[in-house]
Amino acid sequence: MTVLYLYAELMGYNIPVIKELTSTYKAVVHVVHWDKNKLTPYVAPKIPGVTYYKRSVFESADLIELARQICPDVVYVPNWYDKGYLPVCKLLRKKGIPVVAGLDNQWIGNLKQWMGCIYMRLHLKKYFSHIWVAGPSQYEFARRLGFHKNHIIFDFYSADVDKFSSIRKAVETINNPKKFLFVGRLEPVKGIDLLLKAWKEIKDKKGWDITLIGNGSLKSQLEGHSGVTLKDFMQPDDLVQEIKNYGCFILPSTYEPYGVVLHEFAVAGMPIIVSNACGGAPVFVVNGYSGYQFKSGNYLDLISKMEKIMRLDTDQFNQMSLNAHEQGIKITPQTSAAQFMSVLN
């Protein structure tokens, strides 16, 4: 079994699914990935049965030659906008090889998306046989792109469930750590200014504090910010060790296609406060059960949800932690890999 990934920027959450393909399905996986202009400094680990290729050294003709040499049984292409990948997809589709597109963008229904759907309906089938979606909003988008429901598979993304479950086991012994946490790129779209405004407006913080972990264009502005701890981007193993003593994860993005980080912190058993602009919010955050959703851009609503978390007693906090964990483990690398391999059946 040979799998070809024509990828964009590899991230830590890609690795457990790739490992699952090599271990359970005995697949040999070839991964072409972007190695320049990356958003994060993440470095993918070496995995037996996996070969990495730097996208920057391949022209379209080189990619076609690579595909001819490895003869893949199935192909995965999450980023359609890399035009160098499309000729490969078209060639393999003509040979009857399943080519799976990836989709994490939410269906919003604006004019741009509707116009895109008209164009894509005419062209997508030349390149892709199936589409792999992250959640319900992405499913709605896929249907409008013209994919039949039998050609849409789920669980596009998965957290490293084993790794983040270890945090859940650790926090069970801690009585409600009074620490809010944001992890992600330090960019305006992440809603960090809204978070800091809300935090400043909360007068009675009840012993809670707040930490931001990540890098990005806002980092220099956030350094030395009163009442906020700022830490640099961490590789996944270091992050898991760091976040064991935090109590509540906050993702206040003004737009987030999906947000795998929600899955990671749900599995970790951490109550979550999330903007309703995040595509993964309805998958992992049930209001009052595993955390709270707030209206995007509304700092008063964010304050309200933060104060709800701060008022939880130890038993209530622990129950919400358990609920979050149970929401998270509904999707795993095993279900994700099985969905992908199902296109061969």
Confidence of residue 171 (pLDDT cuts 50, 70, 90): low
Q: What are phi and psi for residue 33, nearest 5 degrees? A: -140, 150
Total residue count of the chain as it appears in this document: 345
Fold designation for 161-328: Rossmann fold (3.40.50)
Q: Which amino acid is at 229?
A: T
Q: Are 177 and 171 in contact (CB under 8 A)?
A: yes
Fold designation for 2-158+331-344: Rossmann fold (3.40.50)
Q: What are phi and psi for residue 18, nearest 5 degrees? A: -60, -40
Please report the pLDDT score of residue 132 as a whole number.
Answer: 97
Nearest-5° angle of CA 97, CA 99, CA 101? 175
What digits encode the pLDDT tens for the residues 254-285?
999 999 999 999 999 999 999 999 999 999 99
Q: What is the arithmetic mean of pLDDT over 72-89?
A: 92
Q: What are phi and psi for residue 340, nearest 5 degrees? A: -65, -45
Radius of gyration of the chain (CA): 21
The CA–CA distances, whole Å, from 210 to 193, 250, 265 equal: 13, 10, 16
CA-to-CA distance for 44 and 247, rounded, in angstroms? 28
Please report the pLDDT score of residue 166 as a whole number.
Answer: 85
**Is the model's pLDDT at 179 over the cut of 90?**
yes
Please report the pLDDT score of residue 237 as a whole number.
Answer: 86
Please report the pLDDT score of residue 174 as a whole number.
Answer: 57
Q: How far is CA 112 from the centre of its chain?
A: 24
Write down the mean pLDDT value for the chain: 93
**Is the model's pLDDT at 88 over the cut of 60?**
yes
Structural domain boundaries of the chain?
Answer: 2-158+331-344, 161-328
Q: Where are the beta strands (DSSP E) in 160-290?
A: 179-183, 209-213, 229-231, 248-251, 272-275
Is it true that 2-158+331-344 and 161-328 share their CATH fold? Answer: yes
* pTM to 2 decimal places: 0.88
CA-to-CA distance for 258 and 159, rounded, in angstroms? 12
**Is the model's pLDDT at 172 over the cut of 70?**
no
CA-to-CA distance for 226 and 151, rounded, in angstroms? 51
Q: Are 106 and 137 in contact (CB under 8 A)?
A: yes
